[in-house]
Structure 1
Amino acid sequence: MAMTRSSGFKVGMGIAIAALAGSQKAAAQTPMLSVDPSQLPRLGTIDERFQSYNVEMVEVTGGRFWKPYRASASAPSAHGAVNAGNVPAGGNPDLYEYRKPVDLSNRRLRALAAALAPAYMRVSGTWANTTYFAESDEAPSTPPNGFRAVLSRERWKAVIDFARAASAEIITSMATGPGVRDAAGLWQSDQARRFFAYTRSVGGRIAAAEFMNEPTLAAMGGAPRGYDATAYGRDFKAFIAFIRASEPDVMVLGPGSIGETAAPQSSRPSSSEFINTRDLLAASGSGIDVFSYHHYGAVSQRCSPGQTTPEAAVSEAWLASTDRTRAFYQSLRDEFAPDKPIWLTETAEAACGGNPWASTFLDTFRYLDQLGRLARAGVQMVAHNTLAASDYGLLDETTLRPRPNYWAALLWRRVMGTIVLDAGVHQGVHLYAHCRRGIRGAVTLLAINTDRTTAAILRLPVASERYTLSADHLQSAEVKLNGAALELAPNDDLPRLAAVTSPPGPVEIGPTTITFLDVGDAKNPACD
């Protein structure tokens, strides 16, 4: 049927009205935030070494750690290796693969770690519970009875030298397995005493120590059969007495628990396989200088397929798990160790080495959001697991080249200071604020847009310097800063992290992007 001029006009008007309605609907759906950086109140402060990292003890000694998802045909042989058989108690050997000790003298590794300074370097992990420290420069060829691995003096000296080069303070934990116990099963301090004495003799320093790595999972960590909260309390008191008498400058961290927020918190009684933290704290009494805990949002598909998916990696439920764990352990801190600082001494995307996407930009949302949440909640230190091992490492374990989370860590280190501000809670974007590192009165905002399709608009009354992290696709191993790929320059020099100036007014935070906004002219009195 032919269309008249009048009907065509009506159709055209209809299309125009529909388009206008659609644009208005889209505009209504776009989150609009207004923030005045000069008025953001101070919440508190965090440790100068807030952003820290782990180096697993098994990396230092060499031994069996998480097997890559695509195991290399050229993986080193375990034949003849002192620490070749050291897997956690009850662990499935098929999940592990032998690795040589990490080369802590590597120039690239040292330079990239130093760029994150100052930091704490935690050398611990499940393997530390059953690692023997050599009595002399001649390390034994096999672990003594009751141990699963050998830490030579040469390898520990490499840790001390690395920490010095990277401006890192060392955190560690003690051997607690059968090898350090007398006939009655009581923990003895001989190994610990030798360990600390050697550290001092070569000019090193241990800043802080946990007694045992993850005592909630003591059986998995190699504790004697039937080990319970009473035994832990007895051993912990012996450890405290040793530290106070012999190493009074060392901070005692504890308990370093994990695993209680995956099930209803009040319905998980202690057993031979799991000791709950309340029982540990009740048995051990006072003595800790810092309350420590661990957090993983899930176990990776390497160990338990299906616990989490890439689709869930930017969901609120996934990101909020760090708050749930922190709140649980903070409540125990408040009850048993009131007013003590709280540290998260081990965390990453997922336990068991991380999921395949832990090494991609997809996990950077979790990494930075976790730092923002925990700083806002008053947690003083967060140690990412690991610096350069397995899928969750900040650096690729083979090439030692930065992964997306490393670049995020570097940006955080450059611009986020130790004074935490209250940026409020906003619909549609996660917003955090700190005083700018090194510039009086200046404020840095961190805006994380986890929406996969919709941008957010952030209105600022003053100009800002913008650093936006993005990727061509979320599971990319390459990350871009303001549209340019980040990569090491020749000679492994770090690239210049160049900002783009945004004038006063609206700043668009694109879908699934992360933006740091440096507001140098904020004149916030909390930042003076």
Structure 2
Amino acid sequence: MNVRRVLVILCSLYVPCARSQSVSVNVATDREIGLIDDHFVGITFDSSMLPISANWFGFDFSSHKVQTLAKGMSPCYLRIGGTPGDFMTFDPTGSGGGSANSTYTGAMWDDLNYFLKTVGWDLVFGLNVLKRKDGQWDPTNAMELINYTNTRNYTIPGFELGNEPACFPQPFNNSVSGAQLGRDFVHLRDILKSTPGFNSTMVIGPDVTAVFGHKLTFLKNFFEGEGRKPLDRITFHQYYGFEGIASLGTFIDPEVMDRLIISINTVRNITTPADPNTPLWLGETSSFSGGGAPGLSDRYVAGFLWLDKLGIAARMGLKGVLRQSFYGGNYSLVEMNTFDPYPDYWLTLLYKRLIGYKVLSVQTNSTNSFRVYAHCARQESLYNYKPGTVVIYIVNVNNYTTAVTFPQFRTNMDVFWFSPEFQDLTSRNVTLNGKRLDYINYTIPEMPPERAYGGSLQIPATTFGFVVFPDAGVDVCSQD
């Protein structure tokens, strides 16, 4: 079906499309404004999955479906962290699975690392910082894990130390200061440097969240002290609020989207003077915390916040965005037990297939509710786009259609446009160019574009998607 017909049909099903606006999109093609890499979008497991009855909340490492869906995210980092991680102990000789007292075993570690190797994920693992002695982090149990890992020849690309340290639960809530945590990180760095097989393992942190009030003070104390020295990646966590305040409207509210900009600037104001060259990551992030908002964080409407977050993060120079979570909670990418992909899985998959490393600047005459981002297109993907190709992605939270023109690129366009099944923003399923996406017969479906021409499109109300210009011939996208 011709893409113009698809978009017209979509618009006709939206009553608010009677109103419209016109937007012109121009991309600055003289230089890139930033760079990301193929690990830019990562995923997470919550630490609570490790010790629960040895079954990882039902996540089946051996499932062909799980492995196929996981490979779709590769390459990426898998971060295993969270509050339960600061109550866990590694038992290398334990048989079977973990226990209710938060013990995880060598056998579980083996299962995890075999899975990682199978699907092509790289592990970032959160160590327990609340194992302490004389006011300092006690690395004894961490060394057991490191030594066990060495004997199995596993590779651990990164370690974290503690999760959301300014928010430790009772009785540990005020037990570690920002300055002391910085010294603990230095200790971890020294251990890794002196341990064969781990001297190139990244030290990642401090994983602060909701940076205001005492949490802001904690972060300042961390970077004013020793914390500025040992880090290979600086991480913070970001959500748009707790799930209890979420509503359908918050997922399509530009002011809510812009909270991320405020958070990034707040963290940068502290970290850049102390450590200007270390890359900044969103080390854990999603729509709303507390497991996500049921019936919203796992529905089509969640894609607005997610795609906009990826656009803002790349434009503002972040080097990693780790999605909470791949499995578990209302904000996961795949459903528990059935492993069926949620809408954000398909969106993430297509992002990783289309979006290249160079970030481009965009100018538009639109309002803040029509949000546009641009990159050079990824070339080493199944779409085989040639050098010089540009990809633009659009988040349209207007409740009316938008006529968008691309004056520079009056050429062929490949359009990948998402819409909700049954035109309901809370749809469990999503369509791409009018065709529902499903995992069927052990395979990820083909996700072909619709071809359009002439440099203009009608963008339906409250939708999002990607437009690729294979014949753009942009020099900066032709250079290595």
Whether TM-score is above 0.5 comes out as yes
Partner of 1:35: 26
Separation in 2, partners of 1:365, 1:414? 18
Higher RCO (CA-CA < 8 Å; seq separation 6+): 2
Question: In structure 1, which of residues 359, 369, 373 is the aligned counterpart of residue 298 of structure 2?
Answer: 359
Question: In structure 2, which of residues 388, 391, 398 is the aligned counterpart of residue 441 of structure 1?
Answer: 388
Any conservation in 2 of the 1:232–1:283 contact (CA below 8 Å)?
no
Matches within 5 A, 1:444-459: 444-459=391-406
User: Deviation digits for residues 61-98 of structure 1, max 9, x if unmatched?
Assistant: 22xxxxxxxxxxxxxxxxxx58xxxxxxxxxxxxxxx9
How far 1:378 moved relative to its partner? 0.9
Partner of 2:104: 151
Quick check: 1:250 aligned with 2:201?
yes
Any conservation in 2 of the 1:139–1:150 contact (CA below 8 Å)?
no
Quick check: 1:338 aligned with 2:276?
yes
Scaled by the length of structure 2, the TM-score of the pair is 0.87
Give the direction of change, closer, same or farther, for the CA distance of 1:314–1:53 in structure 2 (3 Å limit).
same
User: Deviation digits for residues 138-157 of structure 1, max 9, x if unmatched?
Assistant: 379757xxxx4011111111
User: Deviation digits for residues 169-210 of structure 1, max 9, x if unmatched?
Assistant: 100111122xx333x243221111111222232232110111
The count of residues paired between Structure 1 and Structure 2 equals: 445
Any conservation in 2 of the 1:435–1:443 contact (CA below 8 Å)?
yes
Partner of 2:319: 380
How far 1:105 moved relative to its partner? 2.2
Give the direction of change, closer, same or farther, for the CA distance of 1:408–1:218 in structure 2 (3 Å limit).
same
Tell me, what secondary structure is at the counterpart of 1:523?
Answer: coil
Any conservation in 1 of the 2:391–2:466 contact (CA below 8 Å)?
yes
Q: Which segment is superposed worse, 310-319 or 359-368?
A: 310-319
Any conservation in 2 of the 1:215–1:275 contact (CA below 8 Å)?
no
Separation in 2, partners of 1:101, 1:244? 36
Quick check: 1:227 aligned with 2:227?
no
Question: In structure 2, which of residues 426, 448, 451 is the aligned counterpart of residue 501 of structure 1?
Answer: 451
Quick check: 1:280 aligned with 2:222?
yes
Cα RMSD for the two superposed structures: 2.2
Tell me, what secondary structure is at the counterpart of 1:493?
Answer: coil
Question: In structure 1, which of residues 407, 414, 423 is the aligned counterpart of residue 346 of structure 2?
Answer: 407
Q: Which segment is superposed worse, 119-128 or 457-466?
A: 457-466
Matches within 5 A, 1:185-334: 185-219=135-169, 223=172, 226-246=175-195, 247-260=198-211, 265=212, 268-269=213-214, 276-285=218-227, 286-301=229-244, 307-334=245-272
How far 1:388 moved relative to its partner? 1.1
Separation in 2, partners of 1:198, 1:485? 46
Separation in 2, partners of 1:486, 1:42? 33
Question: In structure 2, which of residues 371, 386, 390 is the aligned counterpart of residue 430 of structure 1?
Answer: 371
Separation in 2, partners of 1:405, 1:142? 32
Give the direction of change, closer, same or farther, for the CA distance of 1:100–1:503 in structure 2 (3 Å limit).
closer
Separation in 1, partners of 2:412, 2:107? 53
Separation in 2, partners of 1:112, 1:36? 33
Quick check: 1:511 aligned with 2:461?
yes
How far 1:160 moved relative to its partner? 0.8
Give the direction of change, closer, same or farther, for the CA distance of 1:251–1:226 in structure 2 (3 Å limit).
closer
Unaligned runs of 5+ in 2: 1-17, 380-385
User: Deviation digits for residues 30-60 of structure 1, max 9, x if unmatched?
Assistant: 12214368x3641121122001100112113
Equivalent residue letter for 1:353: G
Scaled by the length of structure 1, the TM-score of the pair is 0.80
How far 1:426 moved relative to its partner? 4.1
Equivalent residue letter for 1:343: W
Quick check: 1:59 aligned with 2:49?
yes
User: Deviation digits for residues 218-254 of structure 1, max 9, x if unmatched?
Assistant: 346x747643334323423322222222231111112
Which consecutive segments of 4 or more residues in structure 1 shift more than 4 A? Answer: 139-143
Separation in 2, partners of 1:99, 1:195? 19
Tell me, what secondary structure is at the counterpart of 2:321?
Answer: strand
Tell me, what secondary structure is at the counterpart of 2:137?
Answer: coil
Tell me, what secondary structure is at the counterpart of 1:386?
Answer: coil
Any conservation in 1 of the 2:334–2:345 contact (CA below 8 Å)?
yes
How far 1:463 moved relative to its partner? 1.2
Separation in 2, partners of 1:275, 1:142? 36
Separation in 2, partners of 1:381, 1:36? 23
Separation in 2, partners of 1:99, 1:489? 24
How far 1:101 moved relative to its partner? 5.2
Separation in 1, partners of 2:108, 2:56? 15
How far 1:495 moved relative to its partner? 0.7
Any conservation in 1 of the 2:51–2:97 contact (CA below 8 Å)?
no
Partner of 2:334: 395
Quick check: 1:125 aligned with 2:74?
no
Unaligned runs of 5+ in 1: 1-25, 63-80, 83-97, 302-306
Question: In structure 2, which of residues 37, 40, 43 is the aligned counterpart of residue 50 of structure 1?
Answer: 40
Tell me, what secondary structure is at the counterpart of 1:105?
Answer: coil
Quick check: 1:349 aligned with 2:340?
no
How far 1:275 moved relative to its partner? 6.2
Separation in 1, partners of 2:57, 2:246? 31
